[in-house]
Amino acid sequence: MMFSIKIKILLIILFMSVLLSCSFLYVCNEEINKIRNKNIDQVVAAHCDSINKIIQKKIESIKELMGSISQSPMLQAVVEDGDTNTVTDTTRGIKSRLSVQIFDVLDVDNELLASLDGGLIEDEVEKLALFMEKITSNGKTDIRLTVRKDQKLALIIGAPIGDKEDPVGVLIFGFYFDDIFAKEIFEISKTNVSFLSNGKFIGSSLKSKKGLFEISEAMKNKSKVNLRLEWGNDYLFVPKLDFKNWHKKLSIVGQISTLQYHQLSTNMLRSIIYATIITLVLGGLISIFLIKRMTDPLTKVDSMLFGISSGEGDLTQRLPKSSNDEVGRISMNFNQFVETIQKIIISVKNDTSGLNDVSQDLSKTSVKLIDQSNIMEEKTILMANRSETISENSASILEFADKSSEDVSELNLIVCNMSESLLNIADDMEHVTKVAEFANEQAAETTESLEILAKVSTNIDTVLNAIKSISEKTKLLSLNANIEATRAGEAGRGFKVVADEVKNLAKQTEESAAEIGKMISAIKDQSHLTLKRFNPLNKGVSDVLNCLVDSAKDIKKNAELSKDMSEYASSVESLVRQISSKMGSSSDELKEISEGINEVLHLITETNKSGKSVDECVDVVEEKAISLKALIDRFKV
């Protein structure tokens, strides 16, 4: 999966934002938990006054009812046990038989309940407060009695917290009473008392006038009795709940004061500043790491290009491909370019060695051709001198004809050898021409590769412009942060430090972008310099190619001349033989022989000049081959 430099920068910004948000949420959650745990007692104390008022009001109402029925001597209770209904009247001697228990899961010392003023026992809130999942629909204070044999009697009052329509919890308060006071509390008119044993209904009693009751002796056999009190139409019953883990369910919610909110916001602000500084430091380190990762391959490219442009480059080195972004693609393209140059240099080097050998062979053949032409010239001059003596001394015609026939035969043999040599030279020159054409094509491909490298270097300028734009925007952001920090005064000192860090980061980014720009400019310059250095090489190969083409043409022409000379020498030889056989040639025929010999002499002179021209071309080719070999040997392949 390939990512561009722009996408990487965007990912860095997103990473910093996510890290800052997570830090903010974590710090906020920690601060809220601290304040919640620290201020539970304060929240409970804030509700004490209202709760005390509710308790006092209930106690007063109970006492008023007690005053109206204080003359009632007895209390009746109906207990349903299994299939038998039994009604038992008892006296008031319940002191030794009944007591109260505040649920089985609590181990409450009686001394903790020794508060008759209706106040809250603040030191034992957790032991006296039982969390209620639901309260009655009317939202009033609930009263529950739990009685058990051989224990004392207590009053449990539940007061809702918060809105009565939608309360958030209930505070339960316990009060200890002596037997007489407890008895008087329950002497309430119009009171319906229901008995529950282990969650099962076992009896009820309703007295419209007196409403008096006492607990029957039969209650001794019950392990636990819960009383539900009904005052007229007001149901004050709280559903039975599971209090096994009551201490884990305790939940007291209250308002947090303005001072606490201010403290919370101050702590959050300080934590956000710390988190921002840490995020910026991490972002700076990541940015420096990425910039270094971007510049290292470019530095290696610049170093290798400098070595190639100076003519002493090592073409065996390759850049490592560490990523799939623009820098990675530059490394891959540069490696392909260097590999292409290496192949071209190796091919040219091999062809240059072959060209040097061919030029040496051509030089030897040219020297041999000149020597043979000189011999032919000497022989032809000798033939001309002898042909002149024919007219002066006819007696020696036969001898001269025989000698001329031998000379012409030898001349014919020399011409044939020279024709074969010229054909071999033509074949060699054709091979050399192909080699030079291939070298010319490779030089053109090298020039094209250098131009592509220059274009790729130009495309990197777009990325550098994007980095510079981000740096400018970061500077503007740091300037705005400094202005806001100055306005905030002492509270904005932390933001000012962050702004300075952002400014320094923007400055470092700008300097890094400028450094990358310099490196890219250096790559461009080195590419152009390399291209400039390759132009003379390309021109030299073209000159060698042109010279070889001209030499090939001259050699082909000389081969044709040699062929004509061979044919002409054969005709002269035939003519001389005819002269020798007939022994009676006319003077006109002697003139034709003389003219023919002069033409042969002229052809030999032209052949000698062509051989010298070939020798000069061979010298030029050899000189160019040596120069090209020296230039190629400067590169390490």
Copy the structure tokens of residue 115. Answer: 């508060």
d(CA 158, CA 164): 13
Burial 403-415 (b: 16+ CB within 10 A, else e): bbbebbbebbebb
Identify which of 110-124, 131-145, 165-179, 548-562 has the greatest average pLDDT. Answer: 548-562
Percent of the chain with pLDDT over 90: 0
Q: Looking at 55-59, 302-306, 414-418, which range is the least confident one?
A: 55-59
Going along the chain from its start, the domains and CATH numbers come out as 73-255 (no CATH), 296-632 (1.10.287)
pLDDT digits 0-9 by tens, 582-630: 655 555 555 666 666 677 667 767 776 766 676 677 677 767 667 666 6
Beta strand extents in 187-237 (DSSP E only): 191-197, 200-206, 225-231, 234-235
**Model-level pTM?**
0.27
- Write the DSSP symbol of residue 221: G
Backbone angles phi, psi at 563, to 5 degrees: -65, -40
d(CA 541, CA 625): 9
Q: Where are the alpha helices (DSSP H) in 232-257?
A: 246-249
Q: State residue 428's pLDDT score.
A: 67
Instruction: Provide the phi-psi class of 176: left if phi over 0, else alpha when psi is between -120 and 50, else beta.
Output: beta
Q: State residue 577's pLDDT score.
A: 64
Copy the structure tokens of residue 2. Answer: 């390939």
Examine the pLDDT at 347 and tell me if it is beyond 50. yes
Instruction: Answer with the residue of higher pLDDT: 133 or 143.
Output: 143
Mean pLDDT of the chain: 57
The CA R_g of the chain, rounded to the nearest whole Å, is 61
- For residue 204, give the 3-state DSSP assignment: strand
Is there a contact between 139 and 164 (Cβ–Cβ < 8 Å)? Answer: yes
Q: Looking at 51-55, 65-69, 362-366, 381-385, which range is the least confident one?
A: 65-69
Examine the pLDDT at 177 and tell me if it is beyond 50. no
349 class by beta-carbon count within 10 Å (0-12 exposed, 13-18 middle, 19+ buried): middle
pLDDT digits 0-9 by tens, 188-215: 323 333 433 333 333 443 332 222 233 3
Beta strand extents in 41-131 (DSSP E only): 77-81, 84-88, 98-100
d(CA 357, CA 390): 49
Q: What mean pLDDT comes out for the span 475-490?
A: 74
- Write the DSSP symbol of residue 498: H
Q: How far is CA 407 from the centre of its chain?
A: 90
- Write the DSSP symbol of residue 124: G
pLDDT digits 0-9 by tens, 518-547: 777 777 676 667 666 666 666 666 666 677
Of 176, 52, 183, nearest to 109 (Cα)? 176
Q: At residue 629, what is the residue type?
A: K
Copy the structure tokens of residue 329. Answer: 């693609």
Of 222, 238, 279, nearest to 134 (Cα)? 238
Copy the structure tokens of residue 523. Answer: 């790559």
Q: Where are the alpha helices (DSSP H) in 393-492?
A: 397-488
Q: For residue 192, what are the CA distances in angstroms to 208, 230, 378?
A: 9, 5, 163
161 class by beta-carbon count within 10 Å (0-12 exposed, 13-18 middle, 19+ buried): buried
- For residue 75, give the 3-state DSSP assignment: coil
Of 513, 396, 432, nearest to 465 (Cα)? 513
